[in-house]
Structure 1
Amino acid sequence: MDKIKVYIVDDYYLIREGVKKSLKQNSEIEIVGESNSLSDLATSIKTSQPDVLIFELNLCQQPIRDLIENLKKVNARVKFLIISDCDCELPLVMAVRAGVTGFVRKNVSKEELLHAVQQVYTNKEYYVSDVTQVLLKGFLANQTSDSIFSDRELEVLRYICKGRSNEQIADILFISEKTIATHRRNIMKKAGVKKSTELIVWALDNKIVARN
C-alpha cells in the first residue's frame, strides 16, 4: 500500500514538530515537507507532490480559493486539512467552499489527527464538532463575503477602506464615534482579522470594495 504523503505548514515550529511526531508513529504516513509560510508554496508542492496538505488557516494572506486553485494547478490530487483555532464563520465557510475537506484544532490528539488525514486522503470529510456547528450556522445564513455584514457595517467598512478614522466616519454617518468603534470591532471579528490594514486587504481581495 502506498504511503500517504503529508506536507505541513504552520508558523510555529513546535506545532509542526508535534504534527510530525504524531503522524510519523504510523507507518502509512510519510512527511514530505514542511514550511512556516504559505508564500511560494506552489514550488514546494510541485516538487514534493503531497497527498494531503495540513496548514494553518490564519497564514492565508490571499483569498483561500486562489491559494487552492494555484496549488491544484501543480498537484491536482492534493487534499486540504486545516489545523487552526480560528472560529470565525466567514473564513471557515470560504475555506470549505474553496475545497478544504478537513479541520482540526491545534490540541488534536494523535489518534484524531491520523483519522482526519485518512478521511481527507480518501475523499471524505472530517470536521471537529465545534467547527461543524460554526459551518452549519454560516451555511444556514447563506453567507457570501458581504452578506454577513449589516448594511451599516458595510457602510463603515467601505469608509475604513478609504482611510477614514472613526471620528470622520461618525461625522459622515451622523452617529457616535463609540458606535463606529463597536462596528469596527464586529467587522474585524467577522472577517477574522486583527488589524485595520489586514481588514482593508481582506475587503479588497474579496471584492467587497473596488480597487481604484
Structure 2
Amino acid sequence: MYDFLNRFLSLGLDHVWRKRLVDSMDIKAHESILDAACGTGALTRLILKRHPHIPFQLTGIDLSPKMLHIANASIQDKRVHFCLGDLEALPFEDDMFQHALVAFGVRNLENLALGIKELYRVLEPKGNLYILEFSVPPKGLWQTIFRFYFHHILPRIGKRVSRHPRAYAYLPDSVDRFPSPVVFAKFLKDSGFIVSDAISMSGGVCHLYHAVKSDRSL
C-alpha cells in the first residue's frame, strides 16, 4: 500500500525521482550504504540495477515487517541485508556508513530532529546523505492545482479504491506540515551537515537533498 500511495500521489513520477537520486551517487567498491525507511526496497532495487558489479554492502531498515518481507522476497543479492528497526533509534555503530538514503520517509518521523541526528551519527565524516521528499510548489497556478488535487481529488479517489481512505488524507497533511525546502535545508545545516544540493523536481512537487557530514577534523 505504501508504494502504491507514493506512486499514486506522484502520478508515477516517484520512480523517476528515485532514479535521479541513484544516478547522482558516486558509489565506490567496498563502501557501506544505508537505505533508511526502505519500505519494500524500491530504492535498493534501483541501486542494484545501476551498479550490478560493484562490491558494496547495503543495509535496508524499516519499521514494517510486511514491507521487509516483500523486500526480502523480491531482492536476492548477497550485497544486501534487510533488518527491522527505527530511523529514530538506528541500531548501528557511529561512523559506519559512507552513504545514507531516505526516500519519502523523513516527513513521517515523529521527531524529525532525532531522525536527522541519528543519520548524522551513523555516517562517517564526509559521508553522503540523500533525501527525497515531497514538497509544496511555490505560489502560483501550479501550487493551486497541486493543492486542489491533494486536498480534494486524492481523498475522494482514496475512499473509492482503498480500504484505508485515511491514508489518502494523511499524505496531503503530512506534506503541508513538512518544512519548506529552504527551511529544511537550513535544518540540515544546523544539524551539522553541509548541504550540497536542494534540487526542485517536477515544478517543486519533490526535492532531492544532498548533504555531506562535516569533517570533525576541520
Larger Rg: 1
TM-score normalised by L of structure 2: 0.32
TM-score normalised by L of structure 1: 0.33
Normalized per residue, which structure has more helix? 1
Normalized per residue, which structure has more strand? 2
